[in-house]
Amino acid sequence: MTMSLASIDTRSQHLQHAQSTPPTPKPIEKPKPKPKHHEKPKPKPKPEPKPLPKPEPKPEPKPEPKPEPKPEPKPKPEPKPEPTPKPKEESQQESAHKEVRPKQEPKENKKQEESNKTTEGAQANQLAYNQGVSDEFLMKIQMAISAKNKYPRMAMMRGIEGEVLVEFILNTDGTTTDIKISKSSGSDILNHAALNAVKEASRSFPTPKQRVRLRIPIAYTIKE
């Protein structure tokens, strides 16, 4: 195939012209406007209804008092005839049992014991304190009490001091009765300790020739 020079030149010119001319730009599309949302109008608040006036309550009619029914009179009971008492027939055995009376010896013994106690109590009240005893006798009793007396620990911790006057009766058989507080120290702890000391020491008391009432002071002093 043979081509002429003129055809080659025209083809090359066409190619150059095509390369030199820029392509036509595409038209730019404008953005579409967004649709506007129409706001709905807010509803107006409804006016609150005014409260209606309450009707005044009508006074209820008071019920008329009903007459109380009168109690019907009860019929009186007819008096019953009293039974006539029958004569009692006592047998020989019953009469024999009634004639036998219980012995009154126990009552007499009780009366005798009570009279002895009253006489002893009267004699004890008539006794004078520390009468008919020597100083040596009283010293032995005080020494026996001191040997058994103990200072209460609670009173010592609290710093309680005082003197207790204890009285009692010392019998001729060596027993001790009627132990009591004649004068308090003002502290129950010391009073209780003094009574216990006399009770425990009573076994060591000397025996008197006659019954005596004694009054012994017991002192509680904290030594530094």
pLDDT digit string, tens, across residues 169-189:
999 998 999 999 999 999 999
* pLDDT at res. 102: 44
Average pLDDT, the chain: 73
Hey, what are 82's tokens? 């009293």
pLDDT band per the 50, 70, 90 thresholds, residue 124: very low
pLDDT band per the 50, 70, 90 thresholds, residue 46: confident
- Mean per-residue pLDDT, 138-159: 94
Q: Exposure string (b/e) for 119-133, b if CB count within 10 Å is 16 or more?
A: eeeeeeeeeeebeeb
- 216: Cβ contacts below 8 Å, ≥ 6 apart: 138, 141, 142, 145, 165, 166, 167, 168, 198
C-alpha–C-alpha distance, residues 181 and 183, integer Å: 6
- Mean per-residue pLDDT, 86-110: 49
- Mean per-residue pLDDT, 117-130: 55
Hey, what are 208's tokens? 């008197």
* pLDDT at res. 33: 63
- 197: Cβ contacts below 8 Å, ≥ 6 apart: 145, 148, 149, 150, 218
- 205: Cβ contacts below 8 Å, ≥ 6 apart: 140, 141, 144, 170, 174, 176
- Mean per-residue pLDDT, 98-106: 48
What's the CATH number of domain 125-220, 3.30.1150.10, 3.30.1490.20, 2.30.30.90, 1.10.3720.10? Answer: 3.30.1150.10
| 14-28 confidence digits (pLDDT tens) | 555 555 555 566 666
Q: Is the pTM of this model over 0.75?
A: no
Contact (CB, 8 A) for 163 and 220: yes
